[in-house]
A = this chain, B = another copy of it.
Amino acid sequence: MYSIRTAEYCTRMKSLSLGFLGCGNIGGGVYRLLHEMEETLLQRDQLSLRVAKILVKNVDEALAINASKGLDVPRTLLTEHAEDVTQDPSIDIVCEFMGGEQPAARFMEDALRHGKHVVTANKVALALNWSALQRAAEENHVGLWFEASVGGVIPIIRVLNINLESDRIDRIFGIINGTTNYILTRMAQEGKDYNEVLADAQRLGLAEPNPATDVEGMDAAYKLSILASLAFHGRVTYSNVYREGITGIKAQDIAFGQEMGYTLKLLGIAKKQGSTVETRVHPTFLPKDHPLARVDGSLNAIFVHGMYCQDMMLQGRGAGDMPTASAICGDIVEAALCEKPHYPTFANTEMPSPDFAFTDNWITRAYIRLSAVDAPGVLSRVSECFAKEQVSIASMLQKEDTKEGRVPLIFITHPAHEQAIQRAIAHLDPSICVLEQMIRVEE
C-alpha cells in the first residue's frame, strides 16, 4: 500500500508559488497557517504551496512588525514594488490582504491580467470593482476567489455559487459585521451606552480607531451587495443598499425592546419577490427566540431561504486573523487544485441588474419611540396618525416616567409599507409628541 501511495504522490504532486499583496494581521495569519500546514497539505493534496513574494509598504518596518509578532518572514521575500508580485511570471496565485478599494483593486486586476489566480477577502474592492476584476479573470482564464470577503469562515459564497446554484433564493439576511454585533451585545448585556462600549471595543482592538466603516453600516452594505448579487443572480451594487448604522442607538431602546421580547442586531437584509428587490442594512429588532437573536459577540450568522432548499442557517467567526486565514486558505487550495473556476455570468457590469426593480418601500414592522406630552387625548391623536396610513399597532408600552412633562411612548406596528410608516410619523403633531427613535422589526 505504502509504495502505491508513494508512486501516486510523486506523479501528482503540484508545486505552486504564491504572492502576497500586504502582510498585516490576515496576511500574517495566512503565512503562519501555510507554514504550519505545509506537510499536511503535501500529504492531503500533494500540494506544495510556497510564498515567493510579499508586497509591503516599507521593508524595514515590515521586518520589525513581523519580528514583534514572532513571524519569521525572510527579508528576501519582501518587496516595496507591487509588480514584483502581480507581474512575476513565476507566481501562480496572488493573495490580496491590503484592504480598502485602491490600490488593492488595481493590483488585483493587474495580477489577473498577468494570468494569476487571485484570492481576496476584500469586500470593498470587490463590491466596487467586481466587473473589472471578473472580466480580467475571464479573459485570462484564471479565477477570482473571495469566500472570506463575507462572513469570515461562513461558507456562504460557495453555498450560493454551487450548492444553491439550481435553487431560487428569495431571502438572505444575517449578522455580517462582527464589530457592531460585539457593541450591541455588550450594550444589551451591560445596559451601557454606545459611546462607552465603542471606546472599550477600540481599546480591545475590536473596533477601528476610525470606526465609521463598521458602525455606519458601510462594511455590512458592501457585503450585502455581494451576497444579494450572488443570491439573486444579478448585479446589486453598493449604492442599491439602503443603509443605517448603529450610532444613534440608545441603551434605553435596547432595554425597552428587551422588555417587549426583542433583541437588537445590525442586520443585512435582501429579499426578492418576482423581480422586485430590496436590500437594506439597519439596526433591527428580532424576537428573543429567533436563532439570530442568540448570535452574540463577534460571531456572524447568515440565513438563506430558497424555493427548494427552504431554510438554511450558517454561523461562524466573522473575523479574526486565523479564522479568516482558514477561509482564505480554502480558496488558495481550491485555486491550486481547480483548473476551471465558475464565473457568475452577471458580474460583467457595475450597473444594477436591469432585471430587478429596486424598491425602498419594503414591508416591515417598526418599533417607534415617541416623547409625548403627558396629557389626556395624546394617545388618541398619536394613534390617529398611524390609522390614517393604515399602519396598525401590534403592541404598546407607556412608562410612568414623566420628565419635563413628557413621557416615553413606545409602539410596535404590524407589518406595513415603509413609506406609510414614514408618512404616519410625518403626521405627528410636534406640539404633542416628537419621534425619538424608529427601529425596524423582523420576524
Interface residues in chain A, defined as those with a beta carbon under 8 Å from any beta carbon in chain B = 1, 33-34, 37, 40-41, 43-46, 147, 153-155, 158-159, 162-168, 233, 291, 294, 306-317, 320, 322-323, 325-327, 329-330, 332-334, 337-340, 342, 345, 349
Q: How far is the CB of A216 from chain B (nearest CB, A)?
A: 28
* Chain B residues within an 8 Å CB radius of A311: 315-317
Q: How far is the CB of A399 from chain B (nearest CB, A)?
A: 30
* Chain B residues within an 8 Å CB radius of A338: 338, 340, 342
Q: Could you tell me if A165 and B294 are in contact, using CB atoms closer than 8 angstroms? A: no
* Contacting residue for A308 out of B33, B41, B309, CB 8 A: B33
Report the separation of the CA atoms of residues A203 and B209 in the bound assembly, to the nearest whole angstrom.
Answer: 61
Given contacts A155-B163, A166-B33, contact A317 B309 (CB under 8 A): yes
Q: How far is the CB of A342 from chain B (nearest CB, A)?
A: 6
- Tell me the nearest residue of chain B to A157, going by C-beta: B163
Q: How far is the CB of A355 from chain B (nearest CB, A)?
A: 10
Given contacts A310-B316, A317-B309, A326-B309, contact A168 B37 (CB under 8 A): yes
Q: Could you tell me if B323 and A310 are in contact, using CB atoms closer than 8 angstroms? A: yes
Q: Could you tell me if B345 and A44 are in contact, using CB atoms closer than 8 angstroms? A: yes
- Per assembly, the copies of the chain total 2
* Chain B residues within an 8 Å CB radius of A339: 339-340
* Chain B residues within an 8 Å CB radius of A330: 162-167
* Chain B residues within an 8 Å CB radius of A317: 309-312
Q: Could you tell me if B158 and A153 are in contact, using CB atoms closer than 8 angstroms? A: no
Question: Top 3 closest A-B pairs, CB basis?
Answer: A308-B326, A166-B329, A312-B316
* Chain B residues within an 8 Å CB radius of A310: 153, 316-317, 320, 322-323
Q: Could you tell me if B153 and A326 are in contact, using CB atoms closer than 8 angstroms? A: no
Looking at A159, A311, A327, which has the most chain B CB atoms within 10 Å of its CB? A159
Looking at A41, A309, A323, A330, which has the most chain B CB atoms within 10 Å of its CB? A309
Q: Could you tell me if A334 and B162 are in contact, using CB atoms closer than 8 angstroms? A: yes
Report the separation of the CA atoms of residues A307 and B159 in the bound assembly, to the nearest whole angstrom.
Answer: 22
Q: Could you tell me if B159 and A155 are in contact, using CB atoms closer than 8 angstroms? A: yes
Q: Could you tell me if A345 and B45 are in contact, using CB atoms closer than 8 angstroms? A: yes
Q: Could you tell me if A325 and B345 are in contact, using CB atoms closer than 8 angstroms? A: no
* Chain B residues within an 8 Å CB radius of A168: 37, 40
Report the separation of the CA atoms of residues A233 and B46 in the bound assembly, to the nearest whole angstrom.
Answer: 13
User: Could you show 13 A-B contacts with beta carbons less than 8 Å apart?
Assistant: A41-B166, A44-B345, A155-B155, A158-B159, A163-B330, A167-B330, A308-B326, A310-B316, A310-B322, A311-B315, A313-B313, A338-B340, A340-B340
Q: Could you tell me if B147 and A153 are in contact, using CB atoms closer than 8 angstroms? A: no
* Chain B residues within an 8 Å CB radius of A158: 155, 158-159, 162-163
- Tell me the nearest residue of chain B to A41, going by C-beta: B166
Report the separation of the CA atoms of residues A267 and B45 in the bound assembly, to the nearest whole angstrom.
Answer: 30
* Chain B residues within an 8 Å CB radius of A312: 153-154, 314-317
* Chain B residues within an 8 Å CB radius of A315: 291, 311-315
Q: How far is the CB of A313 from chain B (nearest CB, A)?
A: 4
* Chain B residues within an 8 Å CB radius of A233: 43-44
* Chain B residues within an 8 Å CB radius of A41: 166
Q: Could you tell me if B165 and A333 are in contact, using CB atoms closer than 8 angstroms? A: yes
Given contacts A46-B345, A163-B158, A167-B326, contact A153 B334 (CB under 8 A): no
- Tell me the nearest residue of chain B to A315, going by C-beta: B313
* Contacting residue for A326 out of B164, B314, B325, B334, CB 8 A: B164
Q: How far is the CB of A256 from chain B (nearest CB, A)?
A: 24
Q: How far is the CB of A135 from chain B (nearest CB, A)?
A: 11
* Chain B residues within an 8 Å CB radius of A291: 291, 294, 315
Report the separation of the CA atoms of residues A312 and B315 in the bound assembly, to the nearest whole angstrom.
Answer: 6
Q: How far is the CB of A190 from chain B (nearest CB, A)?
A: 19
Q: How far is the CB of A323 from chain B (nearest CB, A)?
A: 5
Looking at A1, A153, A323, which has the most chain B CB atoms within 10 Å of its CB? A153
